Structure 1
Amino acid sequence: MTGPAKRDVVFLLADAGMEQMLLGFLGRPRFHLSLGCAPFAFDPREDVFVAQTRDPGVYGTAREFLRPFERTHRRAVVMLDADWVGTPGADAIHKHITRCLTEAWAEFAVVVIDPELEAWIWQDNPQVAQALKCPPDFRRILADARLWPLDAAKPPRPKEALEHLRRPPYRADGSRAAFRRLAERISVRHCEDAAFNLLRDTLRTWFPENS
Structure 2
Amino acid sequence: MTKRDVVFLVADTGMEQMLRGFLGRPRVHRSLRCGPFGFDPREDVFVAPTKDPGVYGTARELLRPFERLHRRAVVMLDADWDGSPGAKAIHHHIGRCLDGAWEHYAVVVIDPELEAWVWQDNPNVAEALKCSTDFRKNLADSGHWPHDHLKPPDPKSALDHLRRRHRADGSNAAFRRLAEKISVRHCQDPAFNHLCEHLRAWFPENS
Alignment of 1:192 onto 2:188: yes
CA distance in 2, matches of 1:157, 1:124: 16
| TM-score (normalised: structure 1) | 0.97
CA distance in 1, matches of 2:16, 2:60: 19
Say what the alpha-carbon RMSD is for the aligned residues.
0.7
Gaps of 5+ in 2: none
One-letter amino acid matched to 2:82: V
Q: Deviations over 1:122-155 (max 9, x none)?
A: 0000110011011111111111111111111111
Q: Contact (CA 8 Å) 2:120, 2:186: kept in 1 or not?
A: no
Q: 1:29 aligns with which of 22, 26, 29?
A: 26
Alignment of 1:165 onto 2:156: no
- SS in structure 1 at match of 2:177: helix
Gaps of 5+ in 1: none
* Segments of 4+ moved more than 3 angstroms: none
Output aligned runs, 1:101-140, within 5 Å.
101-140=98-137
CA distance in 2, matches of 1:158, 1:41: 31
Corresponding pairs, count:
207
CA distance in 2, matches of 1:36, 1:54: 31
Q: Contact (CA 8 Å) 2:87, 2:109: kept in 1 or not?
A: yes
Q: 1:181 aligns with which of 173, 177, 183?
A: 177
- SS in structure 2 at match of 1:95: helix
- The equivalent residue for 2:5 is 8
CA distance in 2, matches of 1:32, 1:125: 22
- The equivalent residue for 2:198 is 202
Alignment of 1:40 onto 2:37: yes
| TM-score (normalised: structure 2) | 0.98
Give me the identity figure in percent: 75
